[in-house]
């Protein structure tokens, strides 16, 4: 049986030797460890050792002494017990039935186990953690050399050190170089990459970009040098990412180099990168620094097309920027495109609506955007509602303005004096005085006290329509709420009476003004004197007013003084002519 197994193993070894020719050495795969010694490796080795032949076997059999075997067996109790229970017939039967199966199983298990050993031999070596250990002493030496060496001598100084710049070694040097200038860091990176191309990794590039771009001492020359380095590395796919380019954009934005920032943006696709929301924002901001509005809008169109937006605050800044540059329609497009994904801040929305409300062509768009305010946001919508109402009044769309004002009264946001005055002024100019007075009553019901401007506007509307007495009544109502009015309110009534040639009432209003502690100015006196002279030919009253002016320190214009003298002389000549007649 042993002899048959030996022959089978010899055949197996020959088969393995023929089917597995020695592999050529590979420059990539290395032996991770020596294979463990297999009990039957002598049968699988590439050098064939001859097995004992039949003569040797016969010699060994001839030298076998049964007496020695018997002596050994008798000295071992376990062996004796086994021999006592041994039946030659059973052994023969068992051997004949299991010899073939056992042989096959043993050969199969030997083949599989040894195949695993062969695989282990050719398994690529895994990264040894010891290989990643960086010599801190050498890192400190390199850093010291870079920090102390003049910039133009750094490449030669590093070459003289004969350092192997592996990727982790360069990373350690870059991270520890806190006192190096931006140019020295760039020279260190380039020199290390020339020494060992493996050091030119994305991770190390990110370290350099972080340190250079965020440095307070970076200048345009270092920035250009960094940009050239990024472009050079970008020729290899995967060596540059969007975050690196965004940091370049932020750097050029800080340096106010708008054209270079646009160049970086235009090369995103060439460098295998895709712009994100921050990329678009940084380029638009950079273009805005130089008022390159068209270039900024070109970038904005790409942002809208990609549906990739920055955060809501940055979108608000973009909307505000275009509004300030009088690109209101463009700002509206940005807002409408972005609102599907995020909510624009209320201040930016207010700014947009205010800009749209200033133009008659876009006032309706501003009116539609008011629907964006819902719920809690209504409390911040007062400015936008006021801007739209003012715009409607300027375009003489008073009906819609009043309707929107009443909506504010009923639903909010609560309007203030200015919003009411917008509509009251428009109504008064159109002669719709009852509606104007009605809104003033609404103000009072809302707990808002009409200011002097409100009363003045209504008085002006009445005098414009020839209803001066009604204007004078509004003046008296105003004095009940405001103890001290402006001269404009009295001036409005005095001019109205002069226009209607009711000079007595005009003089009464002038005296009322002085009684209320208001000193008439040049306009009131000048208007009254001219009206008295030209329309009433009353030079006597005009002279009294002139004397009041002189006493109060007011100096009447020469032409008006001459007018009094001319009317007086005309009357004297007319009286003399009548006497002669």
Nearest to 185 by CA among 212, 216, 166: 212
pLDDT for position 108 = 47
Nearest to 439 by CA among 460, 418, 411: 418
Tokens standing for 370?
């008011």
- Segment 87-143, tens digit of pLDDT: 444 433 343 444 444 444 444 444 444 444 434 433 343 444 444 678 999 999 999
Report CA 90 to chain centroid distance, whole Å.
89
Residue 12: burial class (beta carbons within 10 Å; 0-12, 13-18, 19+): middle
**Rounded Cα–Cα distance for residues 418 and 559 (Å):** 40
Stretches where the chain sits below pLDDT 70 are: 1-132, 581
pLDDT for position 367 = 95
Q: Indicate the Cα dihedral angle 186, 187, 190, 194, nearest 10°.
A: -170
**Rounded Cα–Cα distance for residues 546 and 541 (Å):** 9
pLDDT for position 132 = 60
pLDDT for position 448 = 94
Q: pTM for the whole thing? A: 0.68
């Amino acid at each position: 049986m042993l002899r048959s197994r030996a022959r089978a193993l010899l055949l197996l070894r020959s088969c393995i030797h023929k089917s597995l020719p020695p592999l050529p050495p590979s420059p990539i795969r290395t032996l991770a460890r020596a294979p463990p010694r297999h009990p039957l490796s002598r049968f699988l080795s590439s050098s064939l050792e001859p097995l004992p032949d039949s003569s040797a076997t016969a010699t060994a059999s001839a030298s076998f002494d049964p007496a020695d075997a018997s002596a050994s067996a008798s000295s071992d109790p376990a062996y004796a017990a086994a021999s006592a229970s041994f039946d030659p017939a059973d052994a023969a039967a068992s051997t004949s039935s299991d010899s073939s199966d056992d042989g096959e199983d043993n050969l199969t298990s030997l083949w599989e186990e040894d195949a695993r050993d062969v695989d282990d031999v050719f398994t690529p070596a895994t990264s040894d953690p010891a290989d990643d250990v960086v010599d801190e002493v050498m890192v400190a030496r390199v850093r010291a050399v870079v920090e102390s060496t003049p910039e133009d001598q750094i490449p030669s100084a590093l070459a003289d050190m004969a350092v192997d710049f592996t990727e982790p070694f360069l990373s350690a040097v870059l991270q520890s170089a806190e006192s190096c200038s931006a140019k020295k860091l760039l020279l260190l990176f380039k020199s290390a990459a020339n020494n060992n191309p493996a050091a030119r990794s994305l991770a190390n590039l990110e370290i350099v970009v972080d340190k250079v771009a965020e440095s307070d001492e970076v200048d345009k020359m270092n920035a250009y040098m960094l940009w050239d380095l990024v472009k050079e590395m970008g020729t290899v796919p995967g060596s540059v990412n969007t975050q690196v380019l965004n940091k370049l954009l932020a750097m050029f934005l800080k340096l106010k180099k708008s054209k270079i920032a646009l160049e970086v943006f235009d090369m995103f696709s060439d460098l295998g990168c895709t712009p994100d929301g921050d990329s678009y924002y940084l380029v638009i901001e950079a273009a805005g620094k130089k008022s390159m509005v068209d270039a900024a809008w070109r970038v904005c169109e790409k942002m809208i097309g990609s549906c990739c937006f920055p955060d809501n605050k940055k979108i608000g800044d973009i909307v505000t920027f275009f509004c300030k540059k009088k690109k209101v329609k463009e700002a509206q497009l940005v807002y409408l495109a972005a609102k599907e994904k995020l909510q624009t801040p209320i201040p930016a929305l207010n700014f947009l609506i205010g800009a749209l409300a200033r133009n008659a062509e876009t006032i309706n768009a501003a009116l539609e955007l008011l629907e964006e305010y819902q719920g809690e946001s209504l409390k911040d919508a007062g400015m936008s509602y006021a801007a739209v109402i003012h715009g409607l009044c300027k375009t003489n769309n008073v009906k819609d303005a009043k309707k929107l004002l009443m909506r504010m009264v009923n639903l909010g946001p609560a309007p203030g004096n200015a919003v009411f005055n917008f509509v009251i002024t428009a109504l008064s100019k159109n002669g719709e005085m009852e509606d104007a007075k009605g809104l003033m009553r609404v103000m009072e019901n809302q707990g808002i006290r009409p200011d002097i401007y409100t009363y003045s506007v209504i008085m002006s509307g009445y005098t414009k329509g020839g209803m001066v007495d009604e204007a004078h009544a509004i003046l008296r109502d105003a004095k009940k709420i405001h103890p001290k009015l402006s001269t404009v309110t009295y001036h409005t009534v005095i001019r109205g009476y002069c226009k209607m040639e009711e000079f007595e009432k005009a003089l009464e209003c002038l005296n009322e003004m002085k009684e209320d502690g208001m000193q008439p100015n040049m306009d009131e006196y000048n208007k009254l004197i001219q009206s008295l002279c030209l329309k009433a030919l009353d030079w006597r009253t005009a002279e009294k007013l002139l004397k009041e002016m002189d006493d109060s320190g007011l100096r009447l214009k020469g032409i008006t003084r001459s007018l009094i003298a001319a009317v007086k002389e005309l009357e004297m000549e007319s009286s003399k002519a009548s006497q002669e007649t």
